[in-house]
Amino acid sequence: MIIKFKKNTLENSLERLKNWLLNADIEFKEVILNGIVHIITSSGWKDVAALADYREIIDTIIDFDTEYQISTRKYQQNNTVINLGDDLVFGANKTIMMAGPCAVESEDQVMRTAEFLSEKCNIKVFRAGAYKPRTSPYTFQGLEEKGLKILDKVRNEFGMKIITEVKDNSHLDEVADCADIIQIGTKSMYIFNLLSRCGRINKPVLLKRAFMATIKEFLQAADFILSNGNPNVILCERGIRTFEPQTRFSLDVCSTALLKEISHLPIVLDPSHAMGRAAQVPLVGQAAAAMEVDGLLIETHPNPSEAKSDKNQALSFEQFEKMMNKLKPICKSIKRQLV
Ligand code: PEP
Ligand code: MN
């Protein structure tokens, strides 16, 4: 249950209510979101009558049957809008293309990619990981801080916004300093103290669905960030693991359709990691764009066969440009601006 308090609620009335909940042994979390105090209990507690004495400080009480709460349209009917400036608005009839290589490998590789994306394709958000959460300990793990410095150069030279991933809390501050959007990868969706710390940072967070997470677990992870005070969360469906080994994952468009109804958070799709094969990524990209989502994540590399991570799914520049030409009319037909 969410108890949302009126603005300027008196501290001592709130303390009285919190003490009452503590004495009654009712678990709750105090959340300050957009400057407003909320007390959130688990979905099991529904004793609204017990709050009668506190009605004058309470704005609304929202009852839930689900454990995810703040991320739902029951809490907030209207879309969350995240404005990065420069036409980049999530949650507002735009499809924002976030493109770049899987990993920052070198200054030359990154700057060549950024130059192509920015100058040839007018892409405004550059994606690349400096901290790579790899499944094998023997493969390239990222350039770390050196990689972040290269991403700073992309911003300075091309004016692009940067989305880059955080693996764990050890380097969150460095990533947050560099990123315009912090990405939490599929394997990190369950690192709850990372989610909580990202909730205390004043930067948008793109949360990827763990490849074995249910919709419930995905939204609970989003609630971890939201309930720590950060309202700017973007959901990313990047494919779930199914019985089919010939595609890397299965892009769960059904969940995407449902999430658009259940949640007010922007949602983006990642055809690259779902498909895992460059030749088919553009076609999946077309389907993804038609889903009326807020953005797409696509991997591209100046020389895909030499990419240090995710080489099978990286589009060549030629493939990327062709794909963009197919996406434009699709976005136009659904009245979305492809940015
Ligand atoms: C990535 O975006 O390069 C990445 C590692 O994605 P995921 O966490 O979805 O595997
Ligand atoms: Mn990748």
Protein residue with its CA nearest to atom 10 in ligand 1: 186
Q: For residues 115 and 118, what is the distance between their CA atoms, to the nearest angstrom?
A: 5
The answer on pLDDT for 204 being more than 90 is: yes
Say what the pLDDT of residue 7 is: 87
The answer on pLDDT for 28 being more than 90 is: yes
Q: For residues 174 and 249, what is the distance between their CA atoms, to the nearest angstrom?
A: 31
Per the document, the length of the chain is: 339
Output the CATH code of domain 82-338: 3.20.20.70
Neighbours of 257 (CB within 10 A): 14
Tens of pLDDT along 86-116? 889 999 999 999 999 999 999 999 999 999 9
Provide the whole-model pTM. 0.97
Contact present, 33 and 233 (Cβ < 8 Å): no
The answer on pLDDT for 8 being more than 90 is: no
Give the pair of three-digit tokens for residue 95: 């499809």
Say what the pLDDT of residue 53 is: 87
Give the closest residue to 60 by CA, choosing from 1, 101, 19, 117: 1
Mean pLDDT of the chain: 96
Burial of 158 (0-12, 13-18, 19+ CB in 10 A): middle
Say what the pLDDT of residue 44 is: 81
pLDDT band at residue 12 under the 50/70/90 scheme: confident
Q: Is the CB of 186 under 6 A from ligand 1?
A: yes
Averaged pLDDT for residues 119-129: 98
Best mutation site among 98, 102, 251 for ligand 1, i.e. most ligand atoms within 8 A of its Cβ? 102
Per cent of the chain over pLDDT 90 is: 91
Q: Is the CB of 147 under 6 A from ligand 1?
A: no
Q: Is the CB of 314 under 6 A from ligand 1?
A: no
**Can you tell me which atom of ligand 1 is nearest the CA of 103?**
3
Tell me the CA–centroid distance for residue 146 and ligand 2, in Å. Answer: 18
Residue 303 backbone phi and psi in degrees, to 5:
-145, 80
Q: For residues 168 and 172, what is the distance between their CA atoms, to the nearest angstrom?
A: 7
Tens of pLDDT along 155-176? 999 999 999 999 999 999 999 9
Q: Between 219 and 45, whose confidence is greater?
A: 219
Tell me the CA–centroid distance for residue 297 and ligand 1, in Å. Answer: 10
Q: Is the CB of 102 under 6 A from ligand 1?
A: yes
Tens of pLDDT along 210-253? 999 999 999 999 999 999 999 999 999 999 999 999 999 999 99
Say what the pLDDT of residue 291 is: 97
Give the closest residue to 300 by CA, choosing from 318, 326, 325: 318
Domain boundaries, the chain: 2-62, 82-338
Say what the pLDDT of residue 55 is: 87
Give the closest residue to 135 by CA, choosing from 100, 187, 195: 187
Q: Is the CB of 113 under 6 A from ligand 1?
A: no
Q: Is the CB of 74 under 6 A from ligand 1?
A: no
The answer on pLDDT for 68 being more than 90 is: yes
- 77: CB partners within 8 A, 6+ apart: 264
Tell me the CA–centroid distance for residue 77 and ligand 1, in Å. Answer: 30
Averaged pLDDT for residues 128-141: 95
Tell me the CA–centroid distance for residue 127 and ligand 2, in Å. Answer: 10
How do strand 94-100 and strand 295-299 relate by DSSP bridges? parallel
Q: For residues 123 and 314, what is the distance between their CA atoms, to the nearest angstrom?
A: 17
Q: Which residue, chain included where needed, has tokens 């990222």?
A: 142
The answer on pLDDT for 10 being more than 80 is: no
Best mutation site among 105, 151, 162, 270 for ligand 1, i.e. most ligand atoms within 8 A of its Cβ? 270
Give the closest residue to 100 by CA, choosing from 143, 156, 164, 158: 164
